[in-house]
Amino acid sequence: SPASIRTMTQPVSIDTVFEADGFQLGDFRFDESVASVFDNMVERSIPNYWELQHLTAALAKRRCVSGSRIYDLGCSTGTTLSLIAAAIAPMQTELIGVDASTPMIEKCRQKLRRQKVASAVKLHACPVEDFLFDEQSASLCISHYTVQFLDPQLRPALVRAIYRSLLPGGCFLLSEKIRFDCPATQEFTEELYYDFKRRNGYSEREIQQKRVALEGVLRPLTAEQNVDLLRGAGFSRITPVLQGYCFVTFLAEKGD
Protein backbone atom coordinates (compact mmCIF):
# COMPACT_ATOMS: atom_id res chain seq x y z
CA SER A 1 0.00 0.00 0.00
CA PRO A 2 1.13 3.62 -0.42
CA ALA A 3 1.20 3.99 3.37
CA SER A 4 3.75 1.19 3.74
CA ILE A 5 5.78 2.39 0.75
CA ARG A 6 6.05 5.87 2.25
CA THR A 7 8.26 4.50 5.01
CA MET A 8 11.09 4.49 2.48
CA THR A 9 10.90 8.27 2.28
CA GLN A 10 11.21 8.81 6.04
CA PRO A 11 12.09 11.15 7.57
CA VAL A 12 9.84 13.40 5.48
CA SER A 13 10.55 17.12 5.31
CA ILE A 14 7.58 19.28 4.35
CA ASP A 15 7.89 21.30 1.14
CA THR A 16 7.83 25.02 1.97
CA VAL A 17 10.34 26.07 -0.74
CA PHE A 18 7.97 28.49 -2.45
CA GLU A 19 6.57 30.21 0.64
CA ALA A 20 9.36 32.79 0.43
CA ASP A 21 9.07 35.86 -1.78
CA GLY A 22 11.32 36.88 -4.62
CA PHE A 23 11.22 34.03 -7.12
CA GLN A 24 11.90 35.22 -10.66
CA LEU A 25 11.11 33.64 -14.01
CA GLY A 26 13.09 30.43 -14.46
CA ASP A 27 14.43 30.29 -10.89
CA PHE A 28 13.57 26.61 -10.36
CA ARG A 29 16.62 24.42 -9.64
CA PHE A 30 17.04 20.84 -8.43
CA ASP A 31 19.36 22.05 -5.67
CA GLU A 32 19.71 21.03 -2.02
CA SER A 33 16.64 23.06 -0.97
CA VAL A 34 14.46 21.10 -3.43
CA ALA A 35 16.17 17.73 -2.94
CA SER A 36 15.64 17.89 0.83
CA VAL A 37 11.83 18.15 0.44
CA PHE A 38 11.43 16.44 -2.94
CA ASP A 39 9.53 13.38 -1.72
CA ASN A 40 6.89 15.56 -0.09
CA MET A 41 6.84 17.93 -3.08
CA VAL A 42 6.10 15.26 -5.69
CA GLU A 43 3.50 13.47 -3.58
CA ARG A 44 1.57 16.74 -3.15
CA SER A 45 2.20 18.09 -6.67
CA ILE A 46 1.84 15.14 -9.06
CA PRO A 47 -1.59 13.53 -9.48
CA ASN A 48 -1.51 9.72 -9.26
CA TYR A 49 2.08 9.84 -7.98
CA TRP A 50 1.87 6.61 -5.99
CA GLU A 51 -0.18 4.85 -8.64
CA LEU A 52 2.62 5.66 -11.10
CA GLN A 53 5.14 4.10 -8.71
CA HIS A 54 3.02 0.94 -8.43
CA LEU A 55 2.59 0.83 -12.22
CA THR A 56 6.35 1.15 -12.79
CA ALA A 57 7.23 -1.62 -10.33
CA ALA A 58 4.54 -3.89 -11.78
CA LEU A 59 5.79 -3.27 -15.32
CA ALA A 60 9.36 -4.02 -14.26
CA LYS A 61 8.26 -7.29 -12.67
CA ARG A 62 6.32 -8.37 -15.76
CA ARG A 63 8.65 -7.20 -18.53
CA CYS A 64 12.13 -7.39 -17.03
CA VAL A 65 14.47 -9.92 -18.63
CA SER A 66 17.11 -11.58 -16.46
CA GLY A 67 20.58 -10.35 -17.39
CA SER A 68 19.27 -7.09 -18.85
CA ARG A 69 19.33 -3.55 -17.51
CA ILE A 70 16.71 -1.11 -16.28
CA TYR A 71 17.50 2.58 -16.72
CA ASP A 72 15.85 5.27 -14.57
CA LEU A 73 16.54 8.64 -16.20
CA GLY A 74 16.06 11.45 -13.72
CA CYS A 75 16.07 9.03 -10.79
CA SER A 76 15.84 11.90 -8.23
CA THR A 77 15.72 10.55 -4.66
CA GLY A 78 15.42 6.89 -5.68
CA THR A 79 11.83 6.02 -4.80
CA THR A 80 11.23 4.33 -8.16
CA LEU A 81 14.55 2.47 -8.08
CA SER A 82 13.83 1.24 -4.54
CA LEU A 83 10.43 -0.11 -5.55
CA ILE A 84 11.79 -1.79 -8.69
CA ALA A 85 14.65 -3.39 -6.75
CA ALA A 86 12.13 -4.88 -4.31
CA ALA A 87 9.76 -5.97 -7.09
CA ILE A 88 12.28 -7.84 -9.24
CA ALA A 89 14.52 -9.38 -6.54
CA PRO A 90 16.26 -11.81 -6.80
CA MET A 91 16.33 -11.51 -10.62
CA GLN A 92 19.78 -10.80 -12.06
CA THR A 93 19.12 -7.34 -13.45
CA GLU A 94 21.33 -4.28 -13.38
CA LEU A 95 19.53 -1.12 -12.23
CA ILE A 96 21.04 2.15 -13.40
CA GLY A 97 19.96 5.56 -12.10
CA VAL A 98 20.95 8.80 -13.83
CA ASP A 99 20.40 12.33 -12.52
CA ALA A 100 22.07 15.68 -13.24
CA SER A 101 21.55 16.91 -9.66
CA THR A 102 24.29 15.95 -7.20
CA PRO A 103 22.02 16.64 -4.17
CA MET A 104 19.39 14.32 -5.68
CA ILE A 105 21.96 11.57 -6.29
CA GLU A 106 23.11 11.83 -2.67
CA LYS A 107 19.50 11.57 -1.38
CA CYS A 108 19.02 8.61 -3.71
CA ARG A 109 22.12 6.88 -2.36
CA GLN A 110 20.89 7.36 1.22
CA LYS A 111 17.45 5.94 0.41
CA LEU A 112 18.87 2.91 -1.38
CA ARG A 113 21.05 2.20 1.66
CA ARG A 114 18.05 2.50 4.01
CA GLN A 115 16.13 0.06 1.80
CA LYS A 116 19.17 -2.27 1.70
CA VAL A 117 19.19 -2.33 -2.11
CA ALA A 118 22.20 -0.07 -2.76
CA SER A 119 24.28 -2.96 -4.09
CA ALA A 120 21.72 -3.60 -6.85
CA VAL A 121 21.92 -0.07 -8.29
CA LYS A 122 24.59 1.93 -10.12
CA LEU A 123 24.18 5.72 -9.97
CA HIS A 124 25.51 8.26 -12.47
CA ALA A 125 25.56 11.99 -11.69
CA CYS A 126 25.27 13.45 -15.18
CA PRO A 127 22.67 15.10 -17.43
CA VAL A 128 20.48 12.44 -19.03
CA GLU A 129 21.16 13.88 -22.50
CA ASP A 130 24.90 13.22 -21.98
CA PHE A 131 24.55 9.67 -20.64
CA LEU A 132 26.09 6.98 -22.86
CA PHE A 133 23.77 3.99 -23.24
CA ASP A 134 24.90 0.51 -24.25
CA GLU A 135 22.85 -0.57 -27.26
CA GLN A 136 20.32 -3.39 -26.86
CA SER A 137 21.12 -3.77 -23.17
CA ALA A 138 17.84 -2.86 -21.43
CA SER A 139 14.43 -4.44 -21.05
CA LEU A 140 12.97 -1.24 -19.54
CA CYS A 141 13.81 2.45 -19.55
CA ILE A 142 11.96 4.91 -17.32
CA SER A 143 11.79 8.69 -17.43
CA HIS A 144 9.28 10.22 -15.04
CA TYR A 145 8.89 13.99 -15.48
CA THR A 146 12.48 14.53 -16.66
CA VAL A 147 12.47 15.00 -20.46
CA GLN A 148 10.15 18.02 -20.00
CA PHE A 149 13.10 19.95 -18.52
CA LEU A 150 15.37 19.41 -21.54
CA ASP A 151 15.81 21.76 -24.47
CA PRO A 152 13.18 20.48 -26.95
CA GLN A 153 15.88 20.30 -29.65
CA LEU A 154 17.81 17.74 -27.56
CA ARG A 155 14.84 15.44 -26.97
CA PRO A 156 14.76 13.53 -30.30
CA ALA A 157 18.40 12.41 -29.96
CA LEU A 158 17.81 11.26 -26.37
CA VAL A 159 14.69 9.26 -27.26
CA ARG A 160 16.51 7.68 -30.22
CA ALA A 161 19.34 6.67 -27.86
CA ILE A 162 16.77 5.18 -25.47
CA TYR A 163 15.19 3.22 -28.34
CA ARG A 164 18.58 1.83 -29.38
CA SER A 165 19.38 0.86 -25.77
CA LEU A 166 16.32 -1.38 -25.54
CA LEU A 167 16.26 -5.06 -26.36
CA PRO A 168 13.63 -6.22 -28.88
CA GLY A 169 10.30 -6.15 -27.03
CA GLY A 170 11.67 -3.64 -24.51
CA CYS A 171 9.62 -0.78 -23.08
CA PHE A 172 10.10 2.93 -22.47
CA LEU A 173 7.84 4.41 -19.78
CA LEU A 174 7.69 8.17 -20.31
CA SER A 175 5.84 10.50 -17.92
CA GLU A 176 5.46 14.13 -18.93
CA LYS A 177 3.48 17.20 -18.02
CA ILE A 178 1.67 18.16 -21.21
CA ARG A 179 0.06 21.30 -22.58
CA PHE A 180 -3.06 21.66 -24.69
CA ASP A 181 -3.35 23.47 -28.03
CA CYS A 182 -6.76 24.91 -27.12
CA PRO A 183 -6.30 27.90 -24.76
CA ALA A 184 -9.66 27.26 -23.05
CA THR A 185 -8.74 23.62 -22.37
CA GLN A 186 -5.31 24.66 -21.11
CA GLU A 187 -6.79 27.22 -18.71
CA PHE A 188 -9.52 24.90 -17.43
CA THR A 189 -7.13 21.98 -16.89
CA GLU A 190 -4.64 24.22 -15.08
CA GLU A 191 -7.36 25.44 -12.72
CA LEU A 192 -8.40 21.87 -11.92
CA TYR A 193 -4.75 21.03 -11.27
CA TYR A 194 -4.31 24.05 -8.98
CA ASP A 195 -7.41 22.90 -7.07
CA PHE A 196 -5.60 19.58 -6.57
CA LYS A 197 -2.59 21.43 -5.15
CA ARG A 198 -4.83 23.53 -2.89
CA ARG A 199 -6.39 20.34 -1.52
CA ASN A 200 -2.87 19.14 -0.75
CA GLY A 201 -2.15 22.18 1.38
CA TYR A 202 -0.36 24.55 -0.99
CA SER A 203 -1.18 28.24 -0.59
CA GLU A 204 -1.97 30.67 -3.42
CA ARG A 205 1.45 32.24 -2.89
CA GLU A 206 3.24 28.87 -3.22
CA ILE A 207 1.28 27.93 -6.34
CA GLN A 208 2.02 31.26 -8.04
CA GLN A 209 5.68 31.39 -6.99
CA LYS A 210 6.38 27.88 -8.28
CA ARG A 211 4.55 28.66 -11.51
CA VAL A 212 6.84 31.66 -12.04
CA ALA A 213 9.99 29.72 -11.10
CA LEU A 214 9.17 26.93 -13.59
CA GLU A 215 8.47 29.33 -16.47
CA GLY A 216 10.85 28.51 -19.30
CA VAL A 217 12.48 25.72 -17.27
CA LEU A 218 9.72 23.13 -17.67
CA ARG A 219 8.79 23.16 -21.37
CA PRO A 220 5.85 20.82 -21.97
CA LEU A 221 4.80 19.41 -25.33
CA THR A 222 1.28 18.39 -26.30
CA ALA A 223 0.30 14.73 -26.04
CA GLU A 224 0.45 14.51 -29.84
CA GLN A 225 3.97 15.98 -29.92
CA ASN A 226 5.12 13.44 -27.34
CA VAL A 227 3.68 10.60 -29.43
CA ASP A 228 5.41 12.03 -32.52
CA LEU A 229 8.68 12.17 -30.56
CA LEU A 230 8.34 8.49 -29.65
CA ARG A 231 7.29 7.42 -33.15
CA GLY A 232 10.17 9.38 -34.66
CA ALA A 233 12.61 7.34 -32.56
CA GLY A 234 11.16 4.08 -33.86
CA PHE A 235 8.58 3.06 -31.26
CA SER A 236 5.69 1.33 -33.00
CA ARG A 237 3.16 0.86 -30.20
CA ILE A 238 2.49 3.83 -27.90
CA THR A 239 -0.22 3.72 -25.24
CA PRO A 240 -1.23 6.39 -22.69
CA VAL A 241 -1.52 4.25 -19.55
CA LEU A 242 -2.11 6.88 -16.85
CA GLN A 243 -3.30 10.50 -16.77
CA GLY A 244 -4.15 13.02 -14.08
CA TYR A 245 -5.04 16.47 -15.42
CA CYS A 246 -1.98 17.53 -17.46
CA PHE A 247 0.28 14.70 -16.26
CA VAL A 248 0.46 11.75 -18.66
CA THR A 249 2.39 8.48 -18.76
CA PHE A 250 3.05 6.84 -22.13
CA LEU A 251 4.11 3.21 -22.56
CA ALA A 252 6.22 2.93 -25.72
CA GLU A 253 7.14 -0.56 -26.88
CA LYS A 254 9.96 -1.63 -29.19
CA GLY A 255 8.92 -4.27 -31.69
CA ASP A 256 10.31 -7.80 -31.63
Q: What is the pLDDT of residues 77-113, one digit of tens each?
A: 999 999 999 999 877 899 999 999 999 999 999 999 9
pTM: predicted TM-score of the whole model, two decimal places: 0.92
Q: What is the mean pLDDT of the chain?
A: 90
pLDDT digits (tens, 9 = 90+) for 21-56: 665 555 666 777 778 788 888 999 999 999 999 999
The string over 165-180, giving b where at least 16 C-beta atoms fall within 10 Å of a residue's C-beta and e elsewhere, is bbbeebbbbbbbbbbb
Domains and CATH numbers, the chain: 2-8+21-181+211-253 (3.40.50.150)
Quote the pLDDT of residue 11. Answer: 58
Quote the pLDDT of residue 64. Answer: 93
Calpha distance 216→214 (Å, rounded): 6
Quote the pLDDT of residue 9. Answer: 47
Amino acid present at 170:
G
Quote the pLDDT of residue 55. Answer: 98
Calpha distance 59→213 (Å, rounded): 34
The yes-or-no verdict on residue 13 having pLDDT over 80 is no
> How many Cβ atoms sit within 10 Å of the Cβ of residue 124?
18
Give 76's pLDDT tier (boundaries 50, 70, 90).
very high
Quote the pLDDT of residue 20. Answer: 62
Q: DSSP for 64-128?
A: --TT-EEEEET-TTSHHHHHHHHHHTTS--EEEEEES-HHHHHHHHHHHHHTT-GGGEEEEES-G
Could you tell me if 163 and 138 are in contact, meaning their C-beta atoms sit under 8 angstroms apart?
no
Could you tell me if 63 and 39 are in contact, meaning their C-beta atoms sit under 8 angstroms apart?
no
From first CA to last CA, the distance across the chain in angstroms is 34
